[in-house]
Amino acid sequence: MHELNRRSFLKAAGAASATTMLGARMHALTAMQTEPARPVAANDHIQIALIGAGGQGQGDTKIAVQVPGVKLVAVADCYNGRLDHSKEIWGDDIFTTRDYNEILARKDIDAVIIGTPDHWHKHASCDAMKAGKDVYCEKPMIHLYADGPEMIETAHATNRIIQIGSQRVSSLLYIKAKELLEAGAIGKLNMVTARWDRNSAMGAWSYTVPLDASPETCDWPRFLGSAPKIPFNAEHFFQWRKWKAYGSGVAGDLFVHLFSGTHFITGSHGPTRGMAAGGLRFWNDGRDVPDVMLGLFDYREGFNLSLRVNFVDGGEESEGLIFTGSEGTMEIGGGAVTVTRVPREQAPGYMIDSFTEAMQKQILADYDKKYPPHSGSESLGGVEKYEAPHGYSDSYDHFKNFFEAVRTRKPVVEDAVFGFRAAGAALLSNLSIERGQVVKWDPDAMKLV
Ligand SMILES: NC(=O)c1ccc[n+]([C@@H]2O[C@H](COP(=O)([O-])OP(=O)(O)OC[C@H]3O[C@@H](n4cnc5c(N)ncnc54)[C@H](O)[C@@H]3O)[C@@H](O)[C@H]2O)c1
């Protein structure tokens, strides 16, 4: 078994391209996206619209239209400045509106990208699917637990494609990590630790409020949607992540990426129990969600997940996952997957100093006979590093996967079931803090227990 694992690990490792000073063997991963694009027939073009043209919506769309055969025709947003800027980016021919229903009513739109705040994800996705559109919906898929089943059922009933926007699950680094774990590169997985630390005002969501923000330039009632009705508040509109009414705290914003990555790589449906601790430690600016959060989760596959998001550490931004197995670790971070193999010692070692000298001698003599030095296990160690090409974009691959599904009707990598399992697991942390309890979850049925 050991040998089989080792052989498959070496095979998965591929040909080494270089060795660093520290002895790590370096491998350059190849991105599919660098291959020349297939020509797309005119009748195979996909026309898309963007709903929610803020930071992520605009960023997503800039990437989506780089996929061959994809054209943006319309944009909906609640702030005039973003509709105007959409025309600046994509031209005056783009149809713009504050009301996404005008977009959904158009027959010439095949698919929509949803980049609204979280509290609109379910409404916009379900409305779009019912109008016959395929959907790329940003993460976290849900804002409330009830959103999950409704989105899954609507996708099923309307036979629409829905891809959730945790782009890392399309990353060639994550694909490599999955392959390595399956090949036994680190032995049996025992633990995953993941972190996302951000110490800047931008990292902590204090996004710039535009100079002209007002009830005239912002469609406040439409932004609020199903959220509690309060008078116009520009911070709520432009920094919505700080309030539970629209966002899902660090759990929905950041934990969810770490869950989707863990689930993709391990193939797990999710945790069975979760508990979190956290609080508002530094950014006392009126927000009602923690800026420090730690979560612990049990997986029935026999590993634990520990997560940390920290907005106040004073250090550099740091994001990544470490998979710890019985024979080493695998880290994803800094644009690479690094496997450090630490083979388990075959010899048990000894602790004999407190015994008589005669007995120490006897134990040592027996030990050397039973466990001769250099019995071979050392040669299995070493560091292998797999690097993504410079400028690699996992978002591009995630969109490519989505548009391929739109064309072929084949499943996407992150459908509504996957999206709900990741977001449902992430939001256990909020529930645990709210209730002051461990929260149980059935990852197959996707239900709180
Ligand atoms: N995948 C990622 O890495 C990633 C990164 C950042 C954000 N996101 C996700 O993208 C989403 C948007 O985040 P953001 O940072 O771009 O927020 P943002 O505030 O910059 O943009 C949201 C936009 O949605 C608009 N909007 C609100 N309600 C609307 C409605 N009913 N119809 C049309 N437009 C509406 C707002 O006017 C705003 O312009 C969030 O769900 C977030 O979690 C994902």
- Using omega within 30 degrees of 0 as the cis cutoff, is the peptide bond preceding 140 cis? yes
Give the C-alpha separation, 47 to 62, whole Å. Answer: 14
List the one residue out of 414, 429, 325 whose CA is nearest residue 5: 325
41 pLDDT above the threshold of 80: no
pLDDT tens-digit readout, 324-340: 999 999 999 999 999 99
377 pLDDT above the threshold of 60: no
Ligand 1 atom having least distance to the Cα of 223: 28
Strand 25-28 and strand 18-19: the pairing is: antiparallel
**Residue of 56, 60, 171, 259 with the most ligand 1 atoms within 8 Å of its CB, for mutation:** 56
Give the C-alpha separation, 38 to 56, whole Å. Answer: 27
16, amino acid identity: A
Give the C-alpha separation, 416 to 162, whole Å. Answer: 6
What is the CATH T-level fold of the domain 2-33+169-198+244-345+380-395+415-448, as seen in this structure?
Dihydrodipicolinate Reductase; domain 2 (3.30.360)
Report the pLDDT value the prediction gives residue 315, as an integer from 0 to 100: 73
Multiple choice CATH, 40-167, 3.30.365.10, 3.40.50.720, 3.30.559.10, 3.40.50.1980: 3.40.50.720
Name the more confident of 447 and 30.
Answer: 447
Residue spans per domain, the chain? 2-33+169-198+244-345+380-395+415-448, 40-167, 348-379
pLDDT tens-digit readout, 194-204: 999 888 899 99
Report the pLDDT value the prediction gives residue 1, as an integer from 0 to 100: 30
- CA 115 – ligand 1 centroid, Å: 4
Strand 134-137 and strand 111-114: the pairing is: parallel
Ligand 1 atom having least distance to the Cα of 123: 31
- CA 97 – ligand 1 centroid, Å: 16
Are residues 109 and 103 in contact, defined by beta-carbon separation less than 8 angstroms? Answer: yes
Q: Which run of H or of E encompasses 192?
A: strand 189-197
Are residues 112 and 119 in contact, defined by beta-carbon separation less than 8 angstroms? Answer: no
Residue 6 makes CB contacts below 8 A (sequence gap 6+) with: 184, 380
Average pLDDT of 218-224? 98
Is residue 349 exposed (0-12), middle (13-18) or buried (19+ Cβ within 10 Å)? exposed
**225-234, 252-261, 375-384: segment of lowest average pLDDT:** 375-384
- CA 53 – ligand 1 centroid, Å: 7
Are residues 105 and 131 in contact, defined by beta-carbon separation less than 8 angstroms? Answer: yes
Pocket of ligand 1 (CB under 6 A): 51-57, 76-79, 82, 100, 115-118, 120, 138-139, 165, 167, 222-223, 225, 240, 253
Report the pLDDT value the prediction gives residue 344, as an integer from 0 to 100: 73
423, amino acid identity: A
Instruction: Specify the length of the chain in residues.
Output: 449
**Residue of 77, 169, 244, 317 with the most ligand 1 atoms within 8 Å of its CB, for mutation:** 77
List the one residue out of 446, 432, 394, 442 whose CA is nearest residue 60: 394
Ligand 1 atom having least distance to the Cα of 166: 1
Report the pLDDT value the prediction gives residue 15, as an integer from 0 to 100: 37
pTM of the model: 0.92
List the one residue out of 14, 5, 13, 381 whose CA is nearest residue 184: 5
CA distances from 98 to 53, 75, 116 (A): 11, 8, 12
Ligand 1 atom having least distance to the Cα of 222: 31
- CA 162 – ligand 1 centroid, Å: 17
What confidence tier does 103 reach under pLDDT thresholds 50, 70, 90? Answer: very high
- CA 52 – ligand 1 centroid, Å: 5
The percent of residues above 70 in pLDDT, for the chain, comes to 91
Average pLDDT, the chain: 91
pLDDT tens-digit readout, 345-365: 778 899 999 999 999 999 999
